[in-house]
Amino acid sequence: MITLESFQQIEDRHTSGVYSKRPLTLVRGAGCTIWDDAGNAYLDATSGMGVALLGHAHPAVTAAISAQAQTLVTCPEIFYNDRRAEVYTLLADLTGLDRFFLCSSGTEAVEGALKAARLLTGRTQIVAAKRSFHGRTLGALGLTWTPHYREPFAGWTPNGITHIPYNNRDAAATAITRDTAAVIVEAVQGEGGVYPADPAWLRGLRELCDQHGALLIVDEIQTGLGRTGRWFGWQHAGIQPDMVALGKGLAGGVPMGAVAWRESLGTLEAGTHGSTFGGNPLACAAAVAVLTALREIDAPDRADRIGGWLLDQFRAADIPLVREVRGTGLMIGLELRDRVTPIVQALQECGVLALVAGKMVLRLLPPLILTEAEAQRLRDTVIEVLTDARA
């Protein structure tokens, strides 16, 4: 029998080492609350890295997973499937796009988007943004800006990638040419420090891509499905991308990603890409439940209303330790004047789990079902910890 004290020791003995682990063993969740192995409860302002859009153990999602697990778990895309067809229908309605490649994660979605862009345009050059984060597999890693992630794999990542300053129209106009296959941007840079895209800049990218025949790809892996106060971050700019990458919360915690593109671009030749687990019935059943539940609660409106209140509260607090408050909806970043790790540790001691975005930014990604009372607790705890740290 494994004792409670041994879980962390076992993981430390066998883990790969690529994760900086916090000394906390989480074993159960419900809604926005998660419990450790000692029975301590925490307000989860991480959503499991932005995954738990509907919180933990949402009844509709768990019921869908249970029912599908007793019906059919796997079905490769060489066959048709009822749950997959439902996902396609829901995603087409939400995104306004018509063609989809289903996979198992956000970084797989970015890889799929890269391959699709090359196959659909016949071009090889890609424009991405500085401070961007698109994943850690080799193709996605070439798009990711942070040298810490890229430099150990120099020479293995794709050639032909140009990084430009985020929200800079002049740099984009110089970089996008007739050789550009695609421009890929995050609607809000999450890992890069919670920087929202300027709507005018996104509109400018749309115009430049149209001018040069390049595809505009929006990475909505963290921002999609209501997080920013719209169904998708690109909607703040009133544009329509050519291609979108989705992941994280798409199936409520069951691994799932998707690439979507407009029908006029056509389809990919058989065999040019694939995914063994992509579009499996279990993940699709979970996704159908997630998308349906998000619509029922009007998730974008909740994120806009409660997230907007939190942003206003943090800005009004005028905390000396905070340099700037950024974000949109329930995607909030507080840039500090000192390192953020001690703040995250202090919040955990006070019963709130939060994320970092680099060395100086506190990132809050609570579930979209966050209640007003939970938002008030989050506000009070964050302000108290930041004020005490400054003192």
> What is the bridge-based pairing of β-strands 243-246 and 215-219?
parallel
pTM here is: 0.96
Cα 70 from Cα 109, distance rounded (Å): 28
Residues 263 and 340 in one domain: no
Contact between 276 and 74 under an 8 Å Cβ cutoff? The reply is: no
Pull the structure tokens for residue 288: 């159908």
Of 246, 273, 296, which one is at a domain's C-terminal end? 296
Q: What CATH number should be reported for the domain holding residue 343?
A: 3.90.1150.10
Residues 281 and 308 in one domain: no
Residues 280 and 308 in one domain: no
- Cα angle 89, 92, 93 (rounded to 5 degrees) comes to 85
| Widest Cα–Cα separation across the chain | 65
Taking 50 as the pLDDT cut, the residues of the chain under it are none
Residues 138 and 220 in one domain: yes
The whole domain housing 111 covers 59-296
Residues 310 and 254 in one domain: no
Of 273, 296, 319, which one is at a domain's C-terminal end? 296
Residues 302 and 243 in one domain: no
Pull the structure tokens for residue 344: 């995250």
Residues 237 and 279 in one domain: yes
Which pLDDT belongs to residue 331?
Answer: 98
The secondary structure of 85-124 as a DSSP string is HHHHHHHHHHHS--EEEEESSHHHHHHHHHHHHHHHH---
Residues 177 and 310 in one domain: no
The secondary structure of 221-262 as a DSSP string is TTTTTTTTSSSSGGGGGT---SEEEE-GGGGBTB--EEEEE-
Contact between 260 and 117 under an 8 Å Cβ cutoff? The reply is: no
Picking from 129, 113, 109, 149, the residue whose alpha carbon sits closest to that of residue 197 is: 129
> Which amino acid type is present at position 319?
I
> What is the bridge-based pairing of β-strands 180-186 and 125-129?
parallel
14-37 in b/e burial notation, b at 16+ Cβ within 10 A?
eeeeeeeeeeeebeebebbbbbbe
Of 264, 296, 328, which one is at a domain's C-terminal end? 296
Average pLDDT, the chain: 95
Residues 272 and 310 in one domain: no
Residues 141 and 159 in one domain: yes
Which pLDDT belongs to residue 212?
Answer: 98
Q: What CATH number should be reported for the domain holding residue 104?
A: 3.40.640.10
Residues 36 and 130 in one domain: no
Residues 156 and 291 in one domain: yes
Q: How many domains does the chain have?
A: 2
